[in-house]
Amino acid sequence: MLAQVSQLFGQDNSILGWILQLSWLLLFVVFMFYGQRIQTWNMLREVEGSLVRFKLMRDEGRKVAISTIKEVGKPQADPTAEVDRFLEYVALPPAEMDPAGIYWKLEHVLDVWDARVKDEVRHMAPEASEAEVNNLENLLGAALALNVYYKFVRHFYTLGKKTMSLYVIMQVQMALPLLMREAKAHLSALRASTEGQPIGDGAGALVAAKLMREYEKTRIAKDVVMAKVPLEGRTAFVLKAEGPGGNAGKPGDAIKRIIEENGGNIASAIIVDAGQKWEGEKVGEVIEGVGVAIGGIGIDRFKVDETVLKHRVPVHAVVIKEDLGDAISTMRKEIVDAADVAIDRIKRLIREGTREGDSVIIAGIGNTMGIGQ
């Protein structure tokens, strides 16, 4: 191209040189004064494309929720308006200026939230069974999460477009890959909740279900069942959330009650739960540790911490590694296989850390959707 221009101007390259210099100078001036704005426009276009995808996922979640409620609950009226109203629900945390008793305040808010959601689901799906109500609650929770992701991205996109501030739009642009990954995980959770399939978060519940199979179960706390299981010459109090509906129960109350009813004479408490894996680690890898392996906002963990400290009960953890996508979508084969590995680890911990005739607690933590007793 330069050769053609040179031929056009003959042998006099001075004109071409001036043109090139002026072009570079013009570009330098443009990028010096408008470079940040151009970068902001590029970021806005990237966020806008992602916003469309978030909206499609939000709409898919809403559509699946409405169709499932119609199919399962057989309401007389169209539940669309009620689903749309539910997708805007919020749970406001209690005041934190006085931190004393904050866990009990949080528990009260969450209890009210759970009761309200179940009432809403029963109203929308009057013919749904109790297990189906729990599954529909999980389904609506996934749809609500997708709506929150969409509104969050839309907020920063709109605000960035109004202000044309690079730093405003950069906040969401940098977080887009992680937000999109989490949104896809919740989208995959829709199918599991719709069909009542076990999810990865139920790894601990699956371990407990395997141990308590064929033994008598009793309800020990709200939505938690317990069975006395002879294991390695010890008496194991095995507990999990009551299934097969999507439910996590209150394992903190159950563990506290067992310890107190036995006068603190518990040789060991073993908590089994799914845990966040690092990138590069294998799904279903089983690790051991000490401490209360109960996820969530921390209410049940607080109750167990208080009780085991009072009675000096040693607490061990068996964790099955998985990521967020595995935790809220249909349980993978690697996690199912890991349950047997976790049971072997539990038996070894009991043999090495307790004596024959001792009593131990084995708590399978997690959402027990699709997992019976």
pLDDT of 30? 65
**Do residues 95 and 157 share a domain?**
yes
Mean pLDDT on 228-250: 94
What's the order of all strands across the beta sheet hosting 315-322? 218-221, 224-231, 234-241, 359-364, 268-276, 315-322, 286-290
The answer to whether position 15 is within a domain reads: no
Mean pLDDT on 71-79: 91
**Do residues 142 and 270 share a domain?**
no
**Do residues 246 and 144 share a domain?**
no
Residue 151, pLDDT > 70, answer: yes
Mean pLDDT on 226-233: 96
Residue 230, pLDDT > 50, answer: yes
**Do residues 214 and 342 share a domain?**
yes
Q: What is the pLDDT of residues 80-134, one digit of tens each?
A: 999 999 999 888 888 878 777 888 999 999 999 999 999 999 999 999 999 999 9
> Containing domain of residue 318, as a range?
200-364
pLDDT of 99? 76
**Do residues 188 and 223 share a domain?**
no
In order, the DSSP letters of 138-189 are HHHHHHHHHHHHHHHHHHHHHHHHHH--HHHHHHHHHHHHHHHHHHHHHHHH
SS3 label, residue 351: helix
Mean pLDDT on 16-38: 72
Return the sign of the alpha-carbon dihedral for residues 172, 178, 184, 186. Answer: negative
**Do residues 190 and 215 share a domain?**
no
CATH number at residue 334: 3.40.50.1470
User: Rounded to whole angstroms, how far apart are CA atoms 111 and 252?
Assistant: 14
Residue 31, pLDDT > 70, answer: no
Mean pLDDT on 297-326: 94
Give the domain-ending residue among 195, 225, 246: 195
**Do residues 207 and 178 share a domain?**
no
Name the one residue in this structure whose structure tokens are 């894996």. Answer: 277
Which of 56-60, 81-85, 179-183, 189-193 has the lowest average pLDDT?
189-193
pLDDT of 346? 97
**Do residues 165 and 205 share a domain?**
no
The answer to whether position 243 is within a domain reads: yes
Residue 350, pLDDT > 80, answer: yes
pLDDT of 236? 97
Mean pLDDT on 297-304: 93
The answer to whether position 14 is within a domain reads: no
The answer to whether position 36 is within a domain reads: no
Give first-to-last CA distance, the chain, whole Å. Answer: 77
The answer to whether position 176 is within a domain reads: yes
Question: pLDDT-derived band of residue 26, with 50, 70 and 90 as boundaries?
Answer: confident
Query: Looking at the DSSP assignment, which residues form a beta bridge with residue 231?
Result: 234
Give the domain-ending residue among 195, 219, 239: 195
Question: How many independent structural domains does the chain possess?
Answer: 2
Give the domain-ending residue among 195, 225, 245: 195
Note whether 190 and 64 are within 8 A (CB). Answer: yes
**Do residues 222 and 353 share a domain?**
yes
**Do residues 53 and 139 share a domain?**
yes
pLDDT of 2? 44
The answer to whether position 35 is within a domain reads: no
The answer to whether position 140 is within a domain reads: yes
User: Rounded to whole angstroms, how far apart are CA atoms 32 and 26?
Assistant: 10
Residue 217, pLDDT > 90, answer: yes
pLDDT of 35? 66
Residue 18, pLDDT > 50, answer: yes
Question: pLDDT-derived band of residue 3, with 50, 70 and 90 as boundaries?
Answer: low
The answer to whether position 30 is within a domain reads: no
Question: pLDDT-derived band of residue 71, with 50, 70 and 90 as boundaries?
Answer: very high
**Do residues 273 and 185 share a domain?**
no
271 or 297, greater pLDDT: 271
Taking Cα atoms as reference points, which of 171, 188, 182 lies closest to residue 47? 171
Taking the CA atoms of residue 218, residue 224, residue 291 and residue 98 in that order, the dihedral angle to the nearest 10 degrees is: -130
**Do residues 159 and 291 share a domain?**
no
